[in-house]
Amino acid sequence: MTETKKLLRSLAGETLPTPPIWMMRQAGRYLPEYRATREQAGDFLSLCYTPDLAAEVTLQPIRRYGFDAAILFADILLVPQALGADLWFVTGEGPRLSTVTAQGDFDALKGKDDIHDRLAPVYETVRILARELPSETTLIGFAGAPWTVATYMIAGRGTPDQGPAHRLMAENEALFDALIDRLTEATVEYLSCQVEAGAEVLKLFDSWAGSLTGEAFERYALDPAKRIIAELKARHPGLPIIAFPREAGARYVGFAKATGADCVALDNSVSPEWAALHVQVDGCVQGNLASSHMVTGGKDLIDETRRIVKAFASGPHIFNLGHGITPDADPENVALMIETVRGMAKG
């Protein structure tokens, strides 16, 4: 299948005339068909844990746009829930979790081998998608990276600066390290089961990597990614893995080599020209159109899309956004982006 699946060819290091395209959060609230299915499910977690509906929303953007890849519909916080954390979503505000801030909280968590009953519906969603996706479409599985997931578990919610996690790191390093280690182990098991169910590529989302500096970045962003990638590749030889240490800035340089990732996804705080010079030299890159263009559209969207494709044209590239598409995006702008990328090869 590698011969026909463009995304796998790019991840293997091939430079293609037209880069494969997919979008982070491509199944989501900007699509009316997603909103209808979400209403049918009743609430967000029910949607994640109902395989037929989760598969349906994963397939919707493939039917509408013909993306080169589908990414499993799930959430990075399903892993802490499987480890025993309470998880709920507040309408208009986002996730809430029971917190891990003391040794007793950590001791109450489950082990890495006890997560699968809770996550079994996710694996079933992957199996459905492996059967139903078009033959040319690559299936991507994913998880949150340990640092990013830990920030939610410690604060009990998303925070602007990940302050609670940084404080715990400073005040109780042993507990913080134990939590990162437990999340690293659980993430390996979770992602390995996704591959066994049919995922062809994995992506590790470290959405808050940019708030780590100095040795902390090495210890809590780079090292866990390296450990996760090495273990998954040992279990599943030839498995391609995309790493996304968002807002890593200069630390994007060498990240693929240091961790063993086959591709580094880039946010839009770095220019494509800089990334081509300093990051793409090591292999495939993914990105990095600003999500705001999916809202505003027009000539700026076309010009910036063309700029990115041209900047990365000399090496392996997967076209994507610099972060997830937002709920206020116009579906017509997504079509315009795809038309622009694929039209460039025709002159």
99 contacts: CB under 8 Å, gap ≥ 6: 105, 153, 154, 155, 156
Q: 25 catalytic, yes or no?
A: yes
9, 30, 34, 38: which is the annotated catalytic residue?
38
For residue 275, report the phi and psi dihedrals to the nearest 5 degrees: -65, -35
Taking the C-alpha atoms of residue 202 and residue 188, their distance in angstroms, rounded to an integer, is 11
30, 34, 65, 152: which is the annotated catalytic residue?
152
Which residue shows structure tokens 């404080």? 167
Taking the C-alpha atoms of residue 244 and residue 87, their distance in angstroms, rounded to an integer, is 24
Taking the C-alpha atoms of residue 293 and residue 160, their distance in angstroms, rounded to an integer, is 23
35, 75, 167, 306: which is the annotated catalytic residue?
75
Reference 326, options 92, 28, 72, 61; nearest CA is 28
Measured over the CA atoms of residue 218, residue 223, residue 229 and residue 234, the dihedral's sign is positive
Q: 152 catalytic, yes or no?
A: yes
Q: Give Cα separations from 318 to 21, 35, 256, 321 (angstroms).
A: 6, 27, 15, 10
Q: Which two tokens stand for residue 113?
A: 């081998």
Q: 182 catalytic, yes or no?
A: no
Q: 75 catalytic, yes or no?
A: yes
Catalytic residues: 25, 29, 38, 75, 152
